[in-house]
Amino acid sequence: MAFLRTLFWVAVTVVVVVFATRNWIPVTINLFGDLQADVKLPVLLMIAFLAGFVPLYIWHVAMRWRDRRRSTVDRPVASVAPGPVAPAHVAPAQVSPGAMDQPHAPAIFQAVSPGVGPAQAD
């Protein structure tokens, strides 16, 4: 794969060099007012390319830095395994004497929120 990538960049470099040598002519650029600049065409094209490429490349690097920073900040929090869930506090229910003698007795435990005693349940 590295060979193909190298071959691609060599081919691109050859095309750019051939283009630059064939089009090495001065181009007059009209700046503001009566000011004019004579620039070689390949240099002008390189300046135009860099004017569009550099700001977007800076933005891309900043976004990669931000995403990498977010992932390293979130990683320690995400790697901590959640502990076991504590069961709800179960308090004995108020059972009248003799209720256990019946064949279908009511439940003797009821779920109560933690910190609430049997007298405060209702």
Q: pLDDT tens, 46-96?
A: 999 999 999 999 999 999 999 998 888 766 554 556 667 777 676 666 666
pTM: 0.53
First to last CA, the chain: 73
Give the CB-side neighbour count of residue 7, counting CA atoms within 13 A.
Answer: 4
- Residue 99 DSSP one-character state: G
* 59 residue type, one letter: W
The whole-angstrom separation of Cα 77 and Cα 80 is: 6
> Nearest to residue 114, comparing CAs of 93, 86, 92?
86
User: Could you give the 3-state DSSP secondary structure of residue 111?
Assistant: strand
